[in-house]
Structure 1
Amino acid sequence: MTKNKFKKVALTLALSGALVLSASPFASPYAEVVETPIGYTSNGNQDSSKDQKIIKRVDAERAIEHIRYLSEEIGPRPGGLNAEKEAADYVASQLRSHGYDVEYQYFPVADQFIAEVAFANGDSWQMGAAPNGTLSNDPVSGEVIFVEGGTDASDFPADTEGKIVLMTRESSTANYRLQVDNAVNAGASGVILQSVVGGRGNYGSTFNPSLTQAYDIPVFGAAFIQGEWLKEQLEEGPVALELTAEQHSNLESVNVIGTKKSKNKKANGKEVILSAHMDSVVGAPGANDNASGTGLMLELARVFKGYNTDKDLKFIAFGSEERGLLGARHYVDQLTQEERDNIEAVFNPDMVATKYEEARNLYAMTVDGSTNIVTDSTVAAGARLGNSDILPGKFGSSDHVPFHNAGIPSALFIWMGIDSWDPLVYHIEKVYHTPQDTIEDNISSERMQSALEVIGAGLFDVVRKDVPGLD
């Protein structure tokens, strides 16, 4: 997918900035943990000296270079498609270059319906396609018109026939189906529905329109900003597009697993995992979600390659997280009970470099809000480093979930803003899952450096092997 060259407009839509979730009983203990964190190890002075082995070596710019390759050279990486496999090959090549043993773990995923919108200047955008619309690589060409409303037949001008109709989608599925039906009856050659608001208050992402009947024209679901960019161009003059769409079937997604075996003969198979998902949603470059977590993982893999560890260390890039945590679920499901019991901790960074100012803290989130070896080690590391960004919390929407459900200590690392825990009100960046999730719009080098230092020091605390030179 080529990079958009069009000027970005100011977003004037009033969007809800926070989502109220269920109340959490952990508000007060969290405040106490920040003031006097309980570390995983006992000697603060010794631990601080050991932290230096990590923080003096980690480099946010190296991690951001991985983000650049994944989000710009590859672009959107929907689960099961070739772009995700390109990301897997990139991760594997980086891990091999640091001496890790690498394996691929494949698993089946459901069909994807992908739309491509091409401009006369060679630019193209990825959108979602309606399975009940026309799916063909033979392009449908036409001039774009924007129609206000669309739920009434009178909303469509007399010259709609043969045009590609852009409409802001109605909030209810029944109403946007009516918009599509009216556009077809007016003679439209294609329909693009503009998304407005995402499920967590973010700017709307691409989507697959759900239709109850088949149409012989393409029907696409555009991200909010794609609709705004199109409307801006229409104000400057006519816009012509070519629409194609394809059903991708018999898909396989993939996990990439890099392993560093402990030299400690008494390790007895005990292992610690640092994981991140490498896929993105359709149409989104996924710089922060989650090339940032993958970039952090690869940078820490570089730093840890030369250190003795007391336990086996695995770096895992999961596929198809955005399709329902499929890669992590598959990985956990194929483990024996003994293998599950041998996993001491899972560190899972997801969205760890956002610029969004309201996302004020880096959180170590567990599914039920309880603390464990992962949260304790990183919160303690943050205290030793004088880093007040890291806090524990409760959140159940990333690849740490399957591990938690299997009884394995795990935590998600993510930048968010929590106004209160009772009721829990959080702020998450507006542009995740959208075409605006780019390095330019959404990546902070300072936030990445903070995450590298805290997560890296906490991870080192859990896996390091004591040697005389460190004590």
Structure 2
Amino acid sequence: MKNNKIGLIIVGLLFLMAACGDKTGNEKRSEEVINYRESPAFNADSAYAYIQRQVDFGPRVPNTEAHKATGDWIVQKLESFGLEVTEQTFQDKAYDGKVLQLRNIIGSYKPKATKRILLGAHWDTRRIADKDTQDLEEPIDGANDGASGVGLLLEVARILHTDSLQPDVGIDFIFFDGEDDGEPEHRDFRDTSQIWWCLGSQYWSETPHIQGYSAYYGILVDMVAGKNARFYKEGYSVQFAKNIVDKVWGYAHHLGYGDFFPMRNAEAITDDHLFVNQNANIPMINIIEYSPDYGFGLYHHTHQDNMEIIDKKTLSVVGNTVLFTLFQEQ
């Protein structure tokens, strides 16, 4: 009986040692999973200045001088950051038959790298304020709806050009034109014969700037600087690229931005990423301010979309999340 007890003790110790061994292995694996790579800090002041510069040009409505001047400025900034710049100029018709002179602008970082990440934003603004109660036919500043995404991406490009830390992947910054000239809401003459939104991404996704272009995945940023903004998991993003959504939202929570990136789904939104997914077969997600409870912010497609609603904290949160994501890729 005594020997049996000793045997049981020995067996128990062996099980305990085995369990400890497994636990140590699991801990090591866990440490490997959370061994994130360092990334540079996002400069919200710089991104804010880029937003202000765009607004200073005036509404970036296609066929206007402000639109042309802004496009030239984006090209100049990308070139100053050492990126290889490509422009796509094309014409397209708006919902009311107006012919729009458009151009997509692409800046490539490490253009010869095989593994590529696509970062996108739209740089045009809406020519009407159809959700407003006054001056409905006047164009909006588009400080958040357009300029914020451009400002964020320009700051990411600047950091890649100046910081000693460099990611291991190639990155293509694409600034889509003609995103925000879709048909007005609640109008009797609304023509649903085709999708009038996102003209630039529709064009690029069918005729990319490089024949056979592909990317590992893409991130679209749209309306990413509003005060008290929250970024839910947009429907098409979850449908086409759920693993990328989960990864990016996970990174945001790791960085302490859980309040800004709720783990909750929202409805699908027709935005530039939809056509990149459907036509170019590149899984692209959308970081966009849109609530499953109340929809877009009250500023959306109104004259309230000006610099007063731009918040550097929100810019910093989204900018750091995007940068951190890029630097985890190898």
TM-score (norm 1): 0.53
Amino acid of the structure 2 residue aligned with 1:343: A
The aligned counterpart of 1:43 is 32
Report if aligned partners of 1:104, 1:254 keep a CA contact under 8 Å in 2. yes
What is aligned with 2:248? Answer: 378
Separation in 2 of the partners of 1:336 and 1:60? 30
Are 1:263 and 1:310, in contact at CA under 8 Å, matched by a contact in 2?
Answer: no
Out of 318, 323, 329, which is 2:176 matched to? 318
Residue 258 of structure 1 aligns to a residue in which SS? strand
Q: Distance in 1 between matches of 2:154 and 2:208?
A: 24
The equivalent residue for 2:261 is: 390
Which aligned pairs between 1:284-299 and structure 2 lie closer than 5 A?
284-299=140-155
Aligned partner of 1:252 among 101, 107, 110: 101
* Richer in strand (by share): 1
Residue 220 of structure 2 aligns with an amino acid whose one-letter code is N
* Structure 1 gap ranges (5+): 1-40, 114-130, 132-248, 419-424, 466-471
Query: 1:42 deviation in Å?
Result: 8.5
Query: Cα distance, 1:432 vs. partner?
Result: 1.9
Aligned to 2:6: none
| C-alpha distance in 1 between matches for 2:252 and 2:71 | 31
Per-residue deviation, residues 50-80 of structure 1 (Å, max 9, x unmatched):
2x423xx211111110110111x21111134
Quote the offset at 1:309 in angstroms. 3.8
2:203 corresponds to which letter in structure 1? Answer: H
Please report how far the alpha carbon of residue 368 of structure 1 lies from its aligned counterpart in structure 2 after TM superposition.
6.1
Per-residue deviation at 1:285? 0.5
In structure 2, relative to structure 1, the CA distance for the partners of 1:80 and 1:347 (3 Å cut) is: farther
Q: Does 1:362 align with 2:231?
A: yes
Work out the CA distance in 2 between the residues paired with 1:364 and 1:100.
Answer: 31
1:443: Cα distance to partner?
Answer: 0.9
Aligned alpha-carbon RMSD (Å): 2.6
Change over 3 Å in CA distance of 1:362–1:251 after alignment to 2? closer
Specify every segment of 5 or more residues in structure 2 that has no aligned partner in the other structure, as ranges: 1-29, 128-138, 182-196
Secondary structure (helix, strand or coil) at the match of 1:427 reads coil
Where 1:363 maps in the other structure, the secondary structure is coil
The AA in structure 1 aligned to 2:231 is L
Query: Are the structure 2 counterparts of residues 312 and 85 from structure 1 closer, same or farther at C-alpha, using a change threshold of 3 Å?
Result: same
Equivalent residue for 2:5? Answer: none
Length-normalised TM-score, structure 2: 0.73
Q: Deviations over 1:281-324 (max 9, x none)?
A: 01100000010011111111112235544332101111110121
Following superposition, the deviation at residue 104 of structure 1 comes to: 1.1
Corresponding letter in the other structure for 1:98: F
The answer to which structure has the higher helix fraction is: 2
Amino acid in structure 2 at the alignment position of 1:435: H
The answer to whether 1:349 aligns with 2:231 is: no
**451, 462, 467: which one pairs with 2:318?**
451
Aligned residue runs from structure 1 range 51-450, under 5 A: 52-54=38-40, 57-71=41-55, 73-110=56-93, 251-261=100-110, 267=114, 270-282=115-127, 283-305=139-161, 306=163, 307-323=165-181, 324-335=197-208, 339-340=212-213, 342-355=214-227, 357=228, 359=229, 361-367=230-236, 369-370=238-239, 371-388=241-258, 389-391=260-262, 393=265, 394-406=267-279, 407-418=281-292, 425-440=293-308, 442-450=309-317
